[in-house]
Structure 1
Amino acid sequence: MLEVKRMEPFYTKRDGARLKMVFAYQYFSIIKDEELFHFIPVEGKEIVINLTSLQIENLSEVFVFQKGSRFIRLPLYQLLLVSNIHDHLELILDELELKRGEQLLSAPSDIDLLIEELEDCNRLRLIDQALAARDEELFYRLAKELKSMEDPKVE
């Protein structure tokens, strides 16, 4: 098993629901068979995390580590399987305060948005039914409810 000794992104960039962590020479190292290998950005150099699902999106990215004239090439998915990189990623996310629970509390989830959209569609369908049935009372009640959803000041 490999051990990630140091893992600090050179910089991080949030792009919507994604977090890109870019690594440079001195900020990422692993220990294999009690020997320290340092990351070199020859091939892959970033980890992209979907902040909604907390899944890594670029699992095929290949990271290269060097000690002297020896190199270790590891696809990110393999590094995830054979090392303690999860611990380091969790610490990085903690530092950036982007844990899943905090994010769900600060922004509405996709499920919440979908439920609201379905409720709005249902209200519009009920208004259409009230119009088709010429039920004036139901129509005004539903229209008032819909208006109050759009503008909370209306009662």
Structure 2
Amino acid sequence: MLSIKTLKPFYVKQETRNIRIMLAYQYFTIHIDGDVYQFVPVEGREIVVNRKTKRIENEKDILVFQKGKHMIQISIAELLDIPEFLTHVHSIAHRYLTKQLPVTLEKSGDVIYELERQNAMRLIDQAIDHNDKEAFLELCDYMNENFTVSHETQK
């Protein structure tokens, strides 16, 4: 019989798409047939939770547990069959899933670029609505000089 004794993150890394629950010695222990095994970071060292779907993405990763000299390998997929494992993971990840990541300087530049592009597009539409050929041509030149047309912006 396999059960979770302790599951605490060593630390949690927040990313735009995922939350990485980093594991370390003494923070993750399991019971197997009455014996206590401690996690050792030999192979897998983290649990990756997708922010959008809230699902564990690295189910195929293997975690290694040790008791004395005896080591046992368990995949995250096997651990998912234990309801308390999911409960522990979701209680850890929940705090981070609800937090919005601060906008980084790099991302704010992307936001400003996109806002300027959208504003120029609106001004072009306005020039068309008012039959202002001069403003239309000037704005089209501005768009060509300052914004690259990508497949994403054409959608």
- In the TM superposition, residue 84 of structure 1 has moved relative to its aligned partner by 2.1
In the alignment, which residue of structure 2 is the partner of 1:98? 96
Name the SS of the counterpart of 2:63 in structure 1.
Answer: strand
Unpaired runs of at least 5, structure 1: 104-123, 132-155
- In the TM superposition, residue 82 of structure 1 has moved relative to its aligned partner by 3.9
Name the SS of the counterpart of 1:9 in structure 2.
Answer: coil
In the alignment, which residue of structure 1 is the partner of 2:138? none
For the residues of structure 2 that align with 1:71 and 1:41, how far apart are their CA atoms?
Answer: 12
The one-letter code of the counterpart of 2:11 is: Y
The one-letter code of the counterpart of 2:75 is: P
For the residues of structure 1 that align with 2:11 and 2:67, how far apart are their CA atoms?
Answer: 24
Note if contact 1:4-1:83 (Cα within 8 Å) is conserved in structure 2: no
Name the SS of the counterpart of 2:26 in structure 1.
Answer: helix
Unpaired runs of at least 5, structure 2: 101-121, 129-155
Note if contact 1:2-1:83 (Cα within 8 Å) is conserved in structure 2: no
- In the TM superposition, residue 99 of structure 1 has moved relative to its aligned partner by 4.7
Instruction: Give the root-mean-square deviation of aligned CA atoms.
Output: 3.5
The alignment of Structure 1 onto Structure 2 pairs a total of residues equal to 122
- Determine if the alignment matches structure 1 residue 72 to structure 2 residue 69: no
For the residues of structure 2 that align with 1:6 and 1:83, how far apart are their CA atoms?
Answer: 14
For the residues of structure 1 that align with 2:97 and 2:80, how far apart are their CA atoms?
Answer: 19
Q: TM-score, normalised by structure 1?
A: 0.61
The one-letter code of the counterpart of 2:96 is: L
Aligned-residue sequence identity (percent) comes to 36
Q: Note the 1:31-46 alignment, pairs <5 A.
A: 31-46=31-46
In the alignment, which residue of structure 2 is the partner of 1:13? 13
The one-letter code of the counterpart of 2:4 is: V
Q: Note the 1:41-56 alignment, pairs <5 A.
A: 41-56=41-56
